[in-house]
Structures are given as structure tokens and as C-alpha cells.
Structure 1
Amino acid sequence: MRFAKSGDDDFIQQINHHKFHGFVHSTFNRTLNIQCLDSGDLYTIACKGIDNAPNTLIIDLEDFEEADIRVNDLVSSDHSVLSITNKMSITIEGIKNWTCILPEYPSVADVLEMNLSTMKQYIKLHGNNSRIERAFKSGNPFDDEMSRMLHERTQLLVSELQNKRMATAIIHAASLIGLGPGLTPAGDDFLVGLFTVFNIENHQYFSHHSFCEEVVLHAKALTNDISYMALAKAAAGQVRETIIDLMEALFRGSEEELICSLRRVLAIGSTSGTDIALGIIAGLEMNM
């Protein structure tokens, strides 16, 4: 029996009420993704040290290397226990409930302006070579063209949003979905960051956060299941804990607190964290 240490409140409620039925969608060294048979949504079981996130349970395990859990293994809940066939049982008794709550936009933006400038400089020095920030010339024609498209399309999207041309902004945003290599493509990651900002109360684009939902309507057929779920959740203002911490540090934190939070975001994936951070910067600069 494994013990869940913390988890998303909605996921916990499903397990508590014996309503979760699904199968293993994908397996990685420190995470498992489970697809719910009822909704089709993905849920994640993550090892300790990984941050809280929507649809996620954190359990007391270092990794899944010896668990022998495989794609299509059946998953169900009964009496506060989530079971993966006969290979693993996870109890949620004593679990710490987690809920994503984004901070409000500050009424005075002095701290934000300083922190945003610091964040941009830090990313220039320590970011993970995002193709979004500028077009690279690697010598590989395919990579160079993808880099050019990412840079160009994000710039077009930001321009349309700044001019409140939402219909064409949706078209440009959709053109980013699935663009870039990796499990969560760079274009998707940028949009996750942008969607986060659009769901911040008192941000001038909060009234346009339905834009995010419109973009997600295009996403299902354009990217993979895991990246789609990240986009769908971010469109509803649901993002992982490290991103929430970064937003709080940007709005009200010291430079030291900002850098600490930013480092954790930049550590997500190979370039995903940097691309998410650039989406956050783009969204915040629209308000300034």
C-alpha cells in the first residue's frame, strides 16, 4: 500500500466517492498518466518531490521503475483507495488537499514592474534556449524553420491581442498549438503561460479569458493528449503549484523570492519552463 501525500481536491473527491474508473494512458520514470473512462480527462500519479498540479496525486514513492505498471492497466477507486490492477494500491487517508488558487493582480504595480524586468534578464542569461524568444540558426533547415515560425507566430499573436482583435488572435494562437518538439510543444507551453495571466483577476484581459477556451476548442486535434490537458486546465485557470508560486513572487515577492520561484519553473522539462515563463511575460506586458 502506498500513501498519497497531497493531491488535487477534485481528484480526491472522485476517489472518495468511488467514482474513478480508467486505465493507464502513459508511464514515465516519476509519473503515470491515467485516462478517466467517464470524462476522457487525464489524471496523474506523481512521485514525491514533484509539485502539486491539477488532476494530480503526489505519493510516497521515489520512482516507478520497479512497479511494472503498463499502458492499459485498469484503474479504479474503492473505499478511499485507488488501485492499479493488482500492482499498486494508493490510499488517500490523511492526504493534504490542494486547490489551485491564482493570486490577484496587484493594485500597485511597482513591485511587478521591477520583478518583471529581473525575470526577463534572468531568462536571457539562464533560460533554456527557447525558440520563441528569437529565431535560431542551427544549420538544420527543419529546426530553423520551426524556430522562425514559433518566433513569428507568437509575435503576431501578441500584436493582435494588444489591439484587442480577438478573432484573429484566436487564429494565431491555434497556429501555435502542437508547434515544436517534445512532449509538450513550445507553442503549447507559451499558451499555458499566457492563459495563466488571462485568468488573473483584475488583469485587464481577465474579461477576455474566454479567449483561452476558444483556443482550446482547436487544440484536441492539433496536439497530444498530455499537452492538451495542460492547455485545457490552464484555460480554466488551473496550473501547477510552481507557476502559482511564480505569479505570487512576481506580484509581491522580493528579488530573491522571484529568482527562487523562477528557477523552479525553468526546471520544468527541457525548454517547457522557459516557454511557459515567456508566455507569462507576454501576458503581463500587455497590462503595462
Structure 2
Amino acid sequence: MLSILTVTLPIYILIALGYSVVRWGLFPRDGMKTLGLFVVRFALPALLFKALSQSSVEDVLNGRFLLAYALGSLLSFAWGWFSERQHEDSFRAIRGIGMSVSNTGFVGAPIVLQWLGPSVSVAFALAMIVENLLILPLTLVLAERNQGGDASPSQLLGQTLKPLVKNPLILAIFSGFLCAVFEVDLPSPIIRVIDMLAGASGAVALMVIGGTLVGLKTDGMLPDVGKLVAGKLIVHPLCVGVFMFLLMSKQPTLCAAAIALAAMPMMGIYPIIGQKYRHDGFCAAALLMTTVTSFFTLLGLMSLLKHFVLN
């Protein structure tokens, strides 16, 4: 437990530091958006590109990992969707994505890399493929149902996938994938630039998460938010764990990495996605509670994984 606390505590200290500097007026809240853009458009893509381009083809083409993580995430999404039949489709979809998409880049990668080392760096790249190319489009298509628009499901899917073509994270994943497959050797100055950008992703991303939590409230939402928190921090890793053990039992380190990633808080842009459907208050409250609660749930989960999976 002490060794795990040594890994997780610095992560949450940085989140608390980001919260404090914004809360005390030492850094403007709007400035966190700029830092977030730096992470999303430069630092995190560099980290993903580095993880994939320096991995073996066997690791990159890990179909079993992709299938297990996708099935586990879809099952968790379905749990959130079907457990709220009394609500409109947009709210059900928002609950579904809240239970099935983690903050893989901003929180998951720093924790998992410190805990299990760079050998599992390909895991969060593969997890982000599932999140961005499967769960996010599914969420937006379902959320747009019955919204009064004339677009067909296929048109909605096309509108959802189109921005992904220009997404720096997606471009980094596929370019890193190609470099791994064709064993491309980049010039050393380019590699050093990528390393420097990748190294900046962890601390800056965690500070951004902390800063964005300032001002979020949970008033009057605790029962509904509590169910979503339990779904994200318990149901999602449990679902992913079941399929990982069925399909990836011979690679326990990657299994542990996938389950830990699924146990992270939901993505930082969760309130932004909910805003379009007037659920931003609920999403913000859920993000705050999940981020705080995950400190304790991750300690327990990582301890169990270390004892039962990694030994």
C-alpha cells in the first residue's frame, strides 16, 4: 500500500496544486484552458506518438487488448444507458459515456506509467482508440436521437467522425502506428523534441485538471451523481477486468494497466459534452466527485491488482 501511495499521492498533489493556484487567484481560470490546449494539441500527442512508435509491431497490433477494452467499455456504457430508461436519450447517453470513458491522457497515463513503467505505454494509446473511435461517436449519435433534427443516424455518425480526422491525438496515434509497423527511424533532433513535449504532458495535464475543478458544485445532485461515480470507478474497471482475464490472461501487466485505466475518473471535457444537452451542471458535479473519490478507490484497486494479478 505504501508503494502504491508513493505513486498516486504526487499525482493528486499536483491536482490539488492546480486547484489551489486557481482558487487563490494565483493563476487565472481561463489560463487553464490555454494550458489544456497545449496538452491536447502538443504534449499528449507527442506522448502517444512516442509510446506507439517505440513499441513493437506485436504490441501495437494487439487485437485482443482492443477487443477486451472495447467490450468492457461497451458493457459499462450499456449499464449507464439501460439503467436510466425513465430519462431522455441525451441524459442516458451522457451517463453512459460518464461510466465508460476515462481521463486516460491527463490522469491515467501519469499514474499507470509511474506504477508499471514504460513497457505498458502502448496500453493507454490503445485505450484512447476505443474511447475516441467507438464510445464517443456512439454517445453523440444516441444523444442526438429525438433532438428534433432531420439528420439520419448515418449522417450523425459522419458528422461525429469528421472532426476526428483533424484531431491531434488521433493523428498521433496513427502516425505512431505507421512508424512502428514500418520501423521508421526519425532523426535524433526530432526525437528529442518529441521527448521534451511528452515529458511536459504529465505535470501540466494534472494542474489543468485541478484548475478546472474550481467552482464546480454538487448541491442537490448527490444521489444521482453517486450512482454515476460508482459506475465509473467500480463498474467500468470490473467490466474491463472480466474481458481482460478472458482474452489477455497471459499478459498480466497489460491486464493490470487496462483495469487501472478504466478505474480513472471520467474525461476532463465531460461537462463540455454535457453542456450541449443542458446537463453540464450534473456532469461538472460528477467530475468533481469522481476525481476526489478516485484517490481512495485507486489505492484499493491497485493494491488488489498488485497482489492478485501482478504476483
Q: Same fold (TM over 0.5)?
A: no
Structure having the higher strand fraction is: 1
